[in-house]
Amino acid sequence: MKEPGEAGPESPRVRIKDVAVAAGVSTATVSLAYNNKGEVAAATRKKVLAVGEGLGYQPNPSGRALRTGQTRILGVLVSYRDSPVWQETYLPYYRGIISDAAIEAMDHGYSVVAASPKPGNLAESIAQLDGAIVVDPLDNDAIVDHCAARGIPLVADGGFVGGRRADKQMVVRGDVERYVHDILDLTAQQHHTRTGRPLGSAALFTGSIIDRYTADTEAAFSSWCAANAVDARVTALEPGGAVTEVARRILATDRPEAVYCLNESYSGAIISAARALELGIPDDVLLSSAATSEQAIRDPRVNYVESADAEGPGRRAVRLLVNYLESAVQEDATVAFRLRPAVAPTPLR
> Among residues 22, 64, 200, 330, which is the contact residue for DNA, using CB under 7 A?
64
> Among residues 22, 49, 59, 111, which is the contact residue for DNA, using CB under 7 A?
59
Beta-carbon contacts of 285 under 8 Å, excluding residues fewer than 6 positions away, are: 251, 256, 257, 258, 259, 274, 279
Establish if 196 lies at the interface with DNA (CB under 7 A).
no
Tell which residue, 203, 221, 229, 230, has the closest CA to residue 286: 203
105 close to 74: Cβ distance less than 8 angstroms:
yes
Q: Count how many Cα atoms sit within 13 Å of the Cα of residue 245 in the half-sphere of its side chain.
A: 8
The secondary structure of 125-173 as a DSSP string is HPPP-SEEEEES-BTT-HHHHHHHHTT--EEEET--GGG---TTEEEEE
- For residue 297, the 8-state DSSP code is P
Site for DNA in 31-50 (CB under 7 A): 31-32, 34-35, 37-41, 43-44
From the CB of 326, what's the least distance to DNA, in Å? 14
Tell which residue, 141, 128, 123, has the closest CA to residue 78: 141
If the CB atoms of residues 29 and 89 are measured against DNA, the closer one turns out to be 29
Question: Pick from its own copies, DNA, none: which does 198 bind, CB < 5 to 8 A by kind?
Answer: none
Question: Pick from DNA, its own copies, none: which does 36 bind, CB < 5 to 8 A by kind?
Answer: none
If the CB atoms of residues 96 and 137 are measured against its own copies, the closer one turns out to be 96
Segment interacting with DNA, rule: CB under 7 A, options 16-24, 190-198, 209-217, 304-312: 16-24
Site for DNA in 328-347 (CB under 7 A): none
Question: Pick from DNA, its own copies, none: which does 31 bind, CB < 5 to 8 A by kind?
Answer: DNA
Establish if 5 lies at the interface with DNA (CB under 7 A).
yes
Establish if 125 lies at the interface with DNA (CB under 7 A).
no
339 close to 179: Cβ distance less than 8 angstroms:
yes
b/e code 235-269 from CB counts within 10 Å (16+ = b):
bbbeeebebeebbbebbeebebbbbbbbbbbbbbb
Establish if 200 lies at the interface with DNA (CB under 7 A).
no
3-state class of 231 per DSSP?
strand
3-state class of 233 per DSSP?
strand
From the CB of 207, what's the least distance to its own copies, in Å? 17
From the CB of 49, what's the least distance to DNA, in Å? 12
Q: From CA 223, how far away is CA 230, in angstroms rounded?
A: 10
Establish if 4 lies at the interface with DNA (CB under 7 A).
yes
Question: Pick from DNA, its own copies, none: which does 208 bind, CB < 5 to 8 A by kind?
Answer: none
Q: From CA 160, how far away is CA 136, in angstroms rounded?
A: 8
- Fill in the amino acid letter for 296: A
If the CB atoms of residues 84 and 200 are measured against its own copies, the closer one turns out to be 84
Q: Count how many Cα atoms sit within 13 Å of the Cα of residue 69 in the half-sphere of its side chain.
A: 4
Question: Pick from its own copies, DNA, none: which does 347 bind, CB < 5 to 8 A by kind?
Answer: its own copies
Question: Pick from its own copies, DNA, none: which does 16 bind, CB < 5 to 8 A by kind?
Answer: DNA
Contact footprint for DNA (CB under 7 A): 1, 3-5, 13, 15-17, 24-32, 34-35, 37-41, 43-44, 57-60, 62-64, 66-68
